[in-house]
Structure 1
Amino acid sequence: MLKWFLRILYAFIVVIVGIMVLNEGFANKRLTYLEENAQTHFDENNMDSYLPEYNVAAERYRYVEQPLYNAVSNDLRFGFEFSIYHTQVAVKDGSANVLVFILHNLDINEPPLNEEEFDKNNNLVRIRVSMQFENGLYQQDYNLDGNIMPLPSPYAMDVAIPMEIQVVENGEEGKSFKVNEGITGKLEEVKFELIDSTLYENEPKRTIFAVFKSNDTVEEKYLVHEELIKDTVITTDHNNETVELTNTLTSKLFNGTIERFDVEYLYDEDNPDITIGISDLSKLNSYNSIVVKYVSIFLIIAIIITYLLFFLNPTIKYFKNKKAKNIDRIIKEADQKKTIFTDE
C-alpha cells in the first residue's frame, strides 16, 4: 500500500513540476520575443512601435494605441515620461482589461554619490515606482535604462517590462483594480524615487522626485496629457513617515479613480480620437521552439529520474538472474561433459 502511495505521490509531483516548466517555457518565449522585437523601440522611446510588439509578447489581442494618461517631465535633473495604456487579453468568458504603466524616455542627470562604484555596477542606482492604493502598496524598481529590476535583486533584466494592473468586476461594488491577487480601490498616489546605493548599500540615499496624487475632480475620461510642474507636496517616505517636499515634480491632472480607467466602451465606439490596435499573435509561433526545448529537457530528466527510482533495481535484478542462470547453465554443461568423460 505504501509503495503505491509513493508512486502516486511521485506522479503528482512530476505533473506539477511539468506544469511549472511548461509555464516557464511560455514565459521565456514571450520574454525572448520582447527582447528581440520590442526593446530597441523602447530604447529609442518609440512607443508607437514598442506598444504593438509588447502586446504581442504579453498576448493582448487588442489595445488602445493612445495612452489614457501621459505625463512629461522636462526637468534637467529628472526627465522622463509616464504613460498608462489600456489593453485587453482574451479569457474563457470574453476578455479581461489590463492597464499598462510605462516609465520611459528616462533622462536622469543626478550624479551618483560614488561614480567609481556606479561605473562598476550601474544597477546600484535605481528608480522605485510606488503605487499607493486604498488597500495596499505596489512597488517596482527600474535601472536608469528603464529595465525592470526584481525586488530586492541588485540585477536588472535585459528588457523593459511595464507594471500592469487589471480592471475587474467586484460584485456589488462594481469595478475595482486587481493587483496580483488582491482587489483594491482607488489609486491614491504614484511616487517616483531615486535610490543611490553607490556609497552605502545598506543605507542608500533616497530622493523622491515626482509625486502623482489623485485629483478626483478631473473629469476627462481618456487621453489626458500634461507637463509636470514643480510644487510643494505632502507625501510619505520609505519609513511611512509624512514629509513635505518642496520643488518636486507634481501632477494636476492625474485621476486614480477606477471610473477614470473603466473605458472598455472605447473598443465599441466610433471615436475619431481613439485608434484600436489589433495584435498579430501569430508572430509568437516562430518562438515555440523555446517551449519545446524546455519540455524536452524536462522529459529527459523525468525519464532518467523515473528509471533510477523505479526501474534500476529491477534491471539489476534481471541481469543478476540472467548471469546466475548462465553460470548454472555452464556448470550443468560442465557436469554433463564430465559425466560423459567418466562413462567412456
Structure 2
Amino acid sequence: MPSKTEKPTPKKLRDAAKKGQTFKAKDVTTLIVLAVGVLAAGIVVDLRHVIAEFSHVAAAGADQDAASYGLEWIRSYLKMVMPFIVVCAVAGALPSLVQSRFTLATEALKLDFGALDPVAGFKKLFSGRAAKELLKALLHLVVLCAAISIFVEQNHRDLFQVFRASPEALAHEWIRLTVKFVMVLLLCALPVALFDAVFEFFHYQKNVKMEKREVEQERKETEGRPETKMKRRETHSELLSEEVKANVEQSKFIVANPTHIAIGIYMNEDIVPIPFVCVRETNARALAVIRHAEANGVPVVRDVPLARSVYRHSRRYQFVSGEDLEPVMRVLWWLRQVEMANSGARAHTDGGEDFPLPEVNNKKEEHDE
C-alpha cells in the first residue's frame, strides 16, 4: 500500500472538515467551559437576588392557583439559569468552531452503517487512540487527587471555619471556596489537556496526509475544470485596469522575468524612433500582463537580465534608458524579421547575424490555468 507522505491540499482539508475530520482538542474546550462557567456563576448568578426571587414566589403562592404557581417557579428558575447557560454554550461552541475553522460538518450528519461493524469496533479497542484515552483517564484520576490534596492543604482552616459562618455569609463562602477549587483543578489538568491537544494534532495531520497519486489526481481534476480556468482568467483580468490592458495590446512586445516582472515596450517610428515603456508591472499584475498579451497575440520575450535592467533604469511612460536601448532595439529588429518572414518577404539587413535571438512567444497559447 502506498504511504501517505504528502501534505494535504486546501481542498483535502475542506472535504475532511465537511466529514467532521478536523482538529479537536476536547480537553482544552472542556477546561475553557469549566473556567468560564465558574466565573459566570460568580458574576451572573447573584445569590441574594435568587433567594429574594424565590422567597417572593413562595410568599405569593397562597394567592395563586397551582398552574400559575408552577409557571412562576419555572419563570424564576429560567431567569436565574438562562444567562449562565448562554455563557457556557458560547464558551463551548466558540473554541470548537475556531478549531474547525468555522466549517460545518454537513456530511457527518449522514447515517454511517459502517460504524456498526463489530469487527471495526473491536479493532478500535487496540488502537493508539484507545491507549491514549486509557492513559488520559488515569491521568485525570491523578489530577483530581492532586487537586483535592493541594486545595485541602491550602484551605483546611477555611473549610472548618465555614460551618461557623452566618447564613448570609455561608453561601458566599462556599462559592469562594468552589471557585478556588476549580482554579486549582484547572491548573492541575492543564498539562493533561496540552498532552491531549498535541496527540490530537499529530493524529489529525497523519489522517489527512495524501499519497502523491492523490495530489496529482486532485490537481488534474481541479485545474482541468472549465469553470476553474474561467475563474482564474477573470481573476487575472480584474487585476489590470482598462488603461493597462490597452497599453498591453498596443505594445510591440512584452519583456518578462518570467513571472515577477513584465515590461511593455511601445515604439512608433513615425513619431519618435525610440522605444517607450508603456507597461511596468510586477508579481501578480505581471502575470496578468503576460496572460493578456498572449491572449491578444502580443509577443512575450522571456529575458531575465533585460527585464530586470529595464525595470531598474526606466519608469512607466518614459523612454528606454541608454543602458538598455541596444538590447531592446535588437529585440525589435528581430521581431520585425520574424514578421517579414511570416509575411513571405525577405529581409536584407547587414549585420543581422550578430544579433542574438531571444526566446519569444508570439502566438496565443492554450492555458490550463
The TM-score bracket by the shorter chain reads under 0.3
Q: Rg bigger for which structure?
A: 2
More strand by share: 1
User: TM-score, normalising length from structure 1?
Assistant: 0.23
Q: TM-score, structure 2 length as denominator? A: 0.22
